[in-house]
A and B are shown apart, each in its own frame.
Chain A
Amino acid sequence: MANIEIDGKHYEVKEGENLLEAILGLGLDLPYFCWHPAMGSVGSCRQCAIKVYQDENDTRGKILMGCMTPAKDGMRIGLEEEQVSDFRDHCIEVTMANHPHDCPVCEEGGECHLQDVTIMSEHTTRRYRGKKKTYENQYLGPCINHEMNRCITCYRCVRFYKDYAGGKDLAAMASRENTYFGRHEDGCLESIFSGNLVEVCPTGVFTDKTLARSYNRKWDLQTAPSICQGCSLGCNIAPAERQGKIKRITNRYHGEINGYFICDKGRFAYDHINSDLRLRDCFVENEKTSYDEALQHTVKLIGEAGSCIGFGSEKASMEENLLLKALVGSKNFCSGMPAAREQQLKEVLNIYKNARTELISLKALEACDCILVLGEDLMASAPRMALSVRQATRNLSFELADQTRIPRWQDEAVRTLAQNERSPLIMATVSGSELDEIASEKIHAAPAQLTAFGFAVAASLEGKTCLPEIAETLAGELTEKAKSVAAQLRTAKKPLIIGGCSLNSLALIQACGQIATALSRARSNGTVFKTPVSFVLPEVNSLGLALLLDDHTLKLEEAVQKGSEKAAIFLRADIYKHLPFEVAEKMFSSISSGISFSELPNRTADKCKINFPAASFVEQEGTVVNNEGRAQRYFEVYAQANPSIKEGWRNLLNIAKGIQGSLAQAKPLAELACFDDVSHFVRNSAPVFSTWDQVAPDSKFRIAGMKIPRQPHRYSGRTSLQANIKVAENKAPEDSDSPLGFTMEGAPTQRPPALNALTWSPGWNSNEAINKFQDEIGGHLRGGDPGVLLLREKQGEDLQFSFTKAQSAELVAVSQSRLFDSCELTVLSAALVQRADIRVAMLGEATAHKLGIQDGDLINIKVGKDGISLPALIDRSVPENLVSIPNDIHTQNELSAALLPAPCQIVRAVS
């Protein structure tokens, strides 16, 4: 700790931390541009200048850059001294010399860091008499708009895009006051993290093009805390609405998960909410009905059937799944997942809960100095994790910096020192991925070999030679690599194993488990070493759903069988995706009554007798459990005006109320009246949910008697928004289920993080205001990062997993994760579909040669009775005797991805 004096007051700050960070951390204001809490200091903008007196003997002092100066005990600092505030004023004066000052038409206006800093630096009068420079703008694709005239040359964009996120196609070009930030030519930005430019750029150069389609200012957007539904990581987001339409999604800081950044899927995949394809009415046997009528029919159908099968979903909230399970009874509950996936998730839970493992957040992941990724193409299956893995490989550079006494936050200097030195990252995947370029070891092999490789690593950790069947499966070279990987894991300060479900292989997950066990043994001496592990799961609530599985849970095939005898509820579940086509068809040919809750049309919903439109995640509250076991709440962003679209949990309670007479287990549900009741029901349902109340404050929570507003305090047009319909002011909708209100009035400060989506503080209108909400800069949110970890603190045991040799096949088809067309929701994003990778079947050179296939040939891949036709792409990274098929929405419709990996045949389609 260092005692420093700022403008006559004494403070304690961290010794060696840079003074800008220290000053902001104390809650004081100091303007800045180029420094970024996640990216460190480079000293380019000079806006953070302060007057520093080294000690009590120093009477002259010196202007220094806050972000470049380490805090030292005894320092005295003048923030407000005339000399230095003059300096900052000059800085902003010249920064603004060329700025177009087009705030009224600038998308950044109202949440612009440049506006804030200009005011903070007290620059008011223009003295520059020259002409302003202008630039040509570029087309950067469907997501990001480019308006270079607004640039203030802070270099944040390139530092994020290239240095932090590994992008290639954005650069600083030319020089002097002519420096240009863009691509070498017009074209779509390639990085899947490009959307963060919108938030990283302190001006209106990079703005959200999807917002611009129907623009609103930040102060006119209603928002609520939410959770990204794009993958299993549960990044915190803030979707923003006006007049019933979601206008954009921004990052919502979470100290343990997403920090300052989310991926482009999370940011731009929201069109499905506004889509014309949305189901908006209730139907009974294809007749449009009212909600109440549909409900009556539902009650009647289930009553007549005497019982009901419930199909849950990994995409549905905990509350929905749990209520469904309670409504239909454990014996009639099916997760809606294929059996194989259920097994995988159970094994993941087993490893998390029972093995000597440590569950790890993305923030903690960034501190790991040796990472083994087994089978996951993280850029597609868990993008934000890929970004964290990238940061983790920098740990070696931080160590080198420590040795050379370069502060870790001196970004350029640390990067210069370390050059290409990186902490070990072992990428063992099916084929090449973007992370390969920073990997110390790249292994491309079929899932069966990857499994064997994992077991070989485990064997080596335990000092054993690997079993003959493992050695047989592995090429000789991989056996050697396994040894060196084991050695690295053993000696690393903090090793990490990343696995997952993307390759649909239980054995691969078990291989991770075995490595965890072996590593724990190898590293425990005296105290037990718990191996950090992280599994990437298929969907936003996969882990939550897995927590509901028990011995009674019906397997999908069984459920399909039984469902045909009874009534069945399909909760956001399209079972066609998980079953071979004829099996699904057969079920619906005999089913007596299907009831579906779905946001969009799909084949399952088509076949159901009764259709309810489902609320999207921004139209209801709910809780999801991420891949680390963190339960997180999302809230209604706006009140859904359509009476047919109700919250998922409310639909189930309504059914329960109707059916309680004939369905015994529905009785307790019928007594639940509001979301708080549902939360208590969840809490009491199993010990694992005992801390459920802490997920987020309940509906009765108030600050000084006030609710928390969803609308910024400058929200405009409340009285005129509906004026074309009627002039009377609408009463704001009530929200009796959460402590949030659909208003602009309410608690202005001290909102608990789980309830706060409005990042604003006086003088700080941009997202940089987040500094004011953290316990330390870049640390936890004050009041604790939202969510509750359900799977913490356990002893763990020596779990053993055994290797079973996979059946050998001449040719195996594997499906690989996709980012921008992974599901029906993302493909509705007008922007993202344009950015989806081309659809191809990838083969290695040798395999293609053997089969007489050339690049671009249309090939048909047959798996059992299903098949899919795709153009072939010969890719050297694909291992032999394997064909990789994109696991996208189209494949899912044509060929159940649940069947893969599987032996296949390839025929060249006649063209």
Chain B
Amino acid sequence: MNLPLTGRIKPDNSVLNLKEYQAAHGYEALKKALAMPPNDVVNMVKDANLRGRGGAGFNTGLKWSFVPQGEQSATPKYLVCNADEMEPGTFKDRWLMECDPHQLIEGMAISAYAIQASVAYLFLRADYNLSAKVLQQAIDDAYAANLLGDNILGTNYNLKFYLHTSAGRYICGEETALINSLEGRRANPRAKPPFPQVSGLFGKPTVVNNVETFCNIPHIIQHGVDWYKNLGIGEDAGTKLYGVSGKVKTPGCWELPIGTSVREILEKHAGGMQDGLKLKGFLPGGGSTDFLTEEHLDLAMDYGTIQKAGSRMGTGTMIILDDKTCPIGMVLNLTRFFAQESCGWCTPCRNGLPFVRQLLTDIENGKGRKEDLDTLLEYCGFMGPGNTYCALAPGAAEPIQSSLKYFKDDYLEHIEKGCCPYKH
């Protein structure tokens, strides 16, 4: 099987240093890209149909093409890597950064060249201490080898590259909040439009992409569009890091062709449910996606299929709910997280999530009322897409609304019995 993203990672997960990376054809793609007109790089990525791995799945090359180019366009332009990875249940970027940092740096360098950025920032989750250490070493080594900095590989292309470690907020993963945070402002998202490609970091054109997204770039450049497209099984292109957490036999993260079925990921790679437990439901793409259930096991994990089933592929990292764990407890736990991480900018999220948290707490503690279920549903709509300033609250509403759909009986039982049946 072709494993472009993780194929070079050593079995013991120790860092692949610059020498080793170069020995495995590392930085050849950069060289190749620097010899191409930047717009050709953009088009290649667009044609390869690489979709953003940060969660929204937007065509990466298309995003890049919105950056105004030409003499009259604003400079400097910025490239930002979103390595905030705080989505509950998500631990894929970390693997890439800790074990193969140069792949990311090379991907970012090529991308920066493509959009003609002169400065790149890598915005890293606060808690990722090992990643920070590994990345800084790799950046230093890349600078020393003239793979970053001025006149990269003698091509006249200059790129300053900074590692920025976050102060630790989930909202910093939202790209415009990330940009505000990078500027030293409060991590509130920004109004869109204007999109960052037009007015982003310090008001200048900026592209933000996810770690995994960038890691795909060198391979597309090196092996071409067709090769890349053929990696996927269904309608999407490339491979994808899929993860599974929850009470399965072997939780973990694997690179698989995009479009691999949920069942294969869950049963083959994660080893199936732990003994004595049954699958009750799962969040396919992290904490902010709608629940799916057993009936969805044979669906392909790609953007379109999962969306049609009423959820989102998100980050591609599943959280499994088993039949011995209280679904309301799980949803409450997630809601606590999202309420805690709300940036505080807009009302439906800032005050709506605590409102919902209160209802869920009451229900979980056996103090719920029947009408609370309608209220909960009302609130999911209230926090829905378009109603809030960014996607945090709509994301937070997804597990709640789908739990009401699939686990309504559990809710009713809590209310009727006046306690959590899973605990009593």
Enumerate chain A interface residues (CB-CB to B < 8 A).
Answer: 42-47, 49, 62-64, 68, 86-87, 90-91, 93-95, 97-98, 127-130, 153, 155, 172, 174-179, 404, 406, 410, 412-413, 416-419
Contacts and interface: CB of A to CB of B under 8 A. Distances in A.
B349 to A, nearest CB: 9
Contacts of B186: 172, 175
Contacts of B344: 153, 172, 174-179
B199 A91 contact: no
Contacts of A179: 344, 350
A155 B347 CA distance: 11
A176 B346 contact: no
What 9 pairs between A and B have smallest CB-CB spacing? A94-B351, A130-B358, A179-B344, A176-B342, A175-B344, A90-B382, A417-B203, A417-B199, A419-B203
Contact of A43 (B187, B194, B199, B389): B389
Given A63-B387, A68-B191, A175-B342, A418 B203 contact: yes
Contacts of B199: 404, 406, 413, 416-417
A899 to B, nearest CB: 49
B343 interface: yes
Interface string B351-379: 11011001101100000000000010011
Contacts of B341: 176
Nearest to A418: B203
A97 B344 CA distance: 15
Given A127-B375, A130-B355, 19 more contacts: A97-B355, A175-B344, A176-B341, A176-B342, A176-B350, A176-B354, A177-B339, A177-B344, A177-B351, A177-B354, A178-B344, A179-B344, A404-B198, A404-B199, A406-B194, A413-B190, A416-B190, A417-B194, A418-B203
B386 interface: yes
Contacts of A410: 191
A410 B362 CA distance: 40
A90 B342 contact: no
Interface class of chain A by DSSP: mixed
B351 A97 contact: yes
B422 interface: no
A130 B354 contact: yes
A798 B127 CA distance: 70
B343 A176 contact: yes
B310 to A, nearest CB: 19
A42 B386 CA distance: 15
Contacts of A62: 386
Nearest to A83: B381
B365 to A, nearest CB: 11
B387 A95 contact: no
A155 B209 CA distance: 30
B345 interface: yes
A63 B383 CA distance: 12
A90 B169 contact: no
A131 to B, nearest CB: 9
11 contacts: A62-B386, A68-B191, A128-B355, A153-B344, A172-B186, A175-B342, A177-B342, A404-B194, A406-B194, A416-B199, A417-B199
Contacts of A417: 194, 199, 203
B387 A49 contact: yes
B315 to A, nearest CB: 23
Contacts of B276: none
Contacts of B351: 94-95, 97-98, 153, 177
Interface in B160-190: 169, 171, 186-187, 190
B342 A412 contact: no
Nearest to B388: A46
B362 A129 contact: yes
Contacts of A68: 191
Interface string B131-156: 00000000000000000000000000
Contacts of A95: 347, 351
A220 B276 CA distance: 73
A90 B190 contact: no
A410 B378 CA distance: 30
A153 B375 contact: no
A94 B389 contact: no
Nearest to A68: B191
B327 interface: no
Interface magnitude class on chain B: 35 or more
A416 B187 CA distance: 13
Nearest to B198: A404
A90 B379 contact: yes
B227 interface: no
A629 B359 CA distance: 62
Contact of B340 (A44, A49, A176, A412): A176
Nearest to A92: B347
A95 B359 CA distance: 16
A223 B37 CA distance: 71
A40 to B, nearest CB: 11
A94 B348 CA distance: 7
Contacts of A155: 345
Contacts of B70: none
A177 B355 CA distance: 11
Interface string B65-86: 0000000000000000000000
Nearest to B389: A43
Contacts of B190: 412-413, 416
Contacts of A94: 347-348, 351-352, 354-355
A178 B354 CA distance: 11
A46 B345 CA distance: 10
A44 B198 contact: no
Interface in B311-344: 339-344
Contact of A406 (B193, B339, B359, B361): B193
Contacts of B194: 404, 406, 413, 416-417
Chain B CB count within 10 A is highest, among A49, A90, A130, for A90
B406 interface: no
Contact of A90 (B187, B352, B386): B352
B384 to A, nearest CB: 9
Given A95-B351, A417-B194, A44 B345 contact: yes
Given A63-B386, A91-B348, A413 B375 contact: no
Contacts of A63: 386-387
A13 to B, nearest CB: 21
Nearest to B201: A416
A413 B199 CA distance: 8
B343 A90 contact: no
B252 to A, nearest CB: 32
Contact of B346 (A43, A64, A178): A43
A695 to B, nearest CB: 44
A97 B171 CA distance: 23
Contact of A46 (B191, B193, B348, B355): B348
Contact of A416 (B169, B203, B350, B382): B203
Contacts of B375: 127
Nearest to B382: A90
Contacts of A86: 378
A175 B347 contact: no
Contacts of A42: 191
A45 B352 CA distance: 12
Given A64-B386, A175-B342, A413-B199, A91 B347 contact: yes
Contacts of B355: 93-94, 97, 128, 130
A44 B347 contact: yes
A91 B383 CA distance: 10
A284 B130 CA distance: 89
Contacts of A43: 191, 346, 389
A172 B171 CA distance: 16
Nearest to A127: B375
A642 B128 CA distance: 76
Nearest to B345: A44
A129 B187 CA distance: 30
B191 A412 contact: yes
B382 A44 contact: no
B329 to A, nearest CB: 18
B387 A46 contact: yes
